[in-house]
Amino acid sequence: MGLSQTLLVYALVCVHIGVSQHYLRLRPSPSDHLPVPDLKEDPDPEYDPREQDLAERTLRRKLGSNFDPSFMSITLPTPVNVTAPDNEVKLGPIPNEFKKIDLTVTPYGKRIKVGKKARRKFLQWLWTYTHCPVVYTWKDLGVRFWPRYIKEGNCFSERSCSFPEGMSCKPVKSITKIFLRWYCQGFLRQKYCTWIQVQYPIISECKCSC
């Protein structure tokens, strides 16, 4: 799924302050912006699920095969940051576009001799420097989502990924996970609340770009 087609089925728009959640709408809308921004929830606990609404067996049955323990959890996992240290990140093989780089010609047209070992080491360094890992952390979505914890991806952003500097890591691919959302219509005693399935896009791949 391309980022331009990603549906933030999660885009809930609250158009009031201090008014009940019947103004809250669940509306899919295309977006290039990931990760999903935090929701502005109605703080009134009247719109929270009750204890009987949080029965794990019932919710697991409602979510079915969409329950993915790799990306969702009922309780807060530890550690919260699940990305491996830099020296443990597996980069994989050097991409073909790197292997096509001609290191024997300077920008001024002069040819130089580069040994195979030196070329391999330079390309490995370049691939390591420009590599854009996805940094995963566990995020609490709140009691109105089940499971309430999601393993969310972000593009590494502590430094520029280009040489010379100027480019940065940006999302290029995402995956979608299905969660349950406690959704209320109406207000006060006339409101009706139920669990509905919603899609939640998660960054799965980043690339160095302008």
Q: What are the tens digits of pLDDT across the range 135-178?
A: 999 999 999 999 999 999 999 888 898 878 889 999 999 999 99
Q: Are residues 149 and 60 in the same domain?
A: yes
Whole domain around residue 191: which residue ranges?
51-78+133-209
Asked if the structure places residue 60 within a domain, the reply is yes
Q: Are residues 67 and 139 in the same domain?
A: yes
Asked if the structure places residue 8 within a domain, the reply is no
Asked if the structure places residue 25 within a domain, the reply is no
How far is the C-alpha of 42 from the C-alpha of 13, rounded, in Å? 11
For residue 209, pLDDT beyond 70: yes
Asked if the structure places residue 66 within a domain, the reply is yes
pLDDT at 6: 31
Asked if the structure places residue 38 within a domain, the reply is no
Residue found under tokens 């703080």: 43
Asked if the structure places residue 13 within a domain, the reply is no
Q: Are residues 202 and 149 in the same domain?
A: yes
Domains identified in the chain, total number: 2
For residue 114, name the pLDDT band (cuts at 50, 70, 90).
confident
pTM of the entire structure?
A: 0.69
Asked if the structure places residue 59 within a domain, the reply is yes
pLDDT at 143: 95
How far is the C-alpha of 27 from the C-alpha of 33, rounded, in Å? 16
Mean pLDDT of the chain: 78
Residues 196, 26: contact at Cβ < 8 Å? yes
Give the domain CATH number at 72: 2.10.90.10
Asked if the structure places residue 62 within a domain, the reply is yes
